[in-house]
Amino acid sequence: MIKPTEPEPSRPVRSWIRAAPGTHIWLLIIAVTSIVVVIVPDHLEHILLHRNSSNIHELARHPIRALLSSAFWIENPASLALYVLLFEVFHANVERWLGTLRWLLIVATGHITATLLSQRVVLMAIRDNRAPRSMVHVVDIGVSYGLATAVGVLTYRLPSPWRWFYLAGSVAFFGLPLATGGTFTDLGHAIALAVGLLAWPLTRHPHPRRHDEHVSRET
């Protein structure tokens, strides 16, 4: 009789990373792009950030590339440590809970929806002369929309009554800036949070933990 595979108690970091591979691959790519931003000359940094932005100009010319590449850059590399922490708290927990495919589907939907809708609002504001034409080329990169989506869907992981305190805090954190005259980015965050909350049907049958999937079998 072969014993079921158990977690590796002597290697908790390795076990944690292996349980959320998508999160940590994403973090690794962001770390690489952040290093690139630090070491390149200022004029090249400006070009890189604009070329990988999901602003109106890039979405009109290269929509797929803009939506994809904008999720792998952060404008301020000094905030990398903060993003590592946030990824571990939110993305890693959602991925371990729902599995990589469902986590990726939910987060990608939030990122794409928030980007397209918020940039649509910017375009309408430009056409109505409520925003300058230069907003067509605004730098719109980063991982915050995906994070906001993960924050939203993680609500359903928590038991009551903590779920409701968490939900109230999340809505306040992302909603208050928007309600007090926020930017298009604040609008994107609120949309992404809503996408995460609307993903409830995908949380009904959570992905089983890796060590629970193994069963004993005859040798």
Rounded to 5 degrees, φ, ψ at 217 are -145, 160
Rounded (10°) angle between helices 144-153 and 162-179: 150
Rounded (10°) angle between helices 100-127 and 184-198: 140
Distance separating alpha carbons of residues 144 and 191, to the nearest angstrom: 11
Write down the residue that tokens 């994809």 correspond to. Answer: 68
pTM: 0.86
Structure tokens at 121: 């609002």
Distance separating alpha carbons of residues 150 and 92, to the nearest angstrom: 9
Distance separating alpha carbons of residues 81 and 87, to the nearest angstrom: 10
pLDDT tens digit at each of 219 positions of the chain = 334 334 455 577 788 888 999 999 999 999 999 999 999 998 888 888 888 999 999 999 999 999 999 999 998 889 999 999 999 999 999 999 999 999 999 999 999 999 999 999 999 999 999 889 999 998 888 799 999 999 999 999 999 899 999 999 999 999 999 888 888 999 999 999 999 999 999 998 766 554 444 433 333
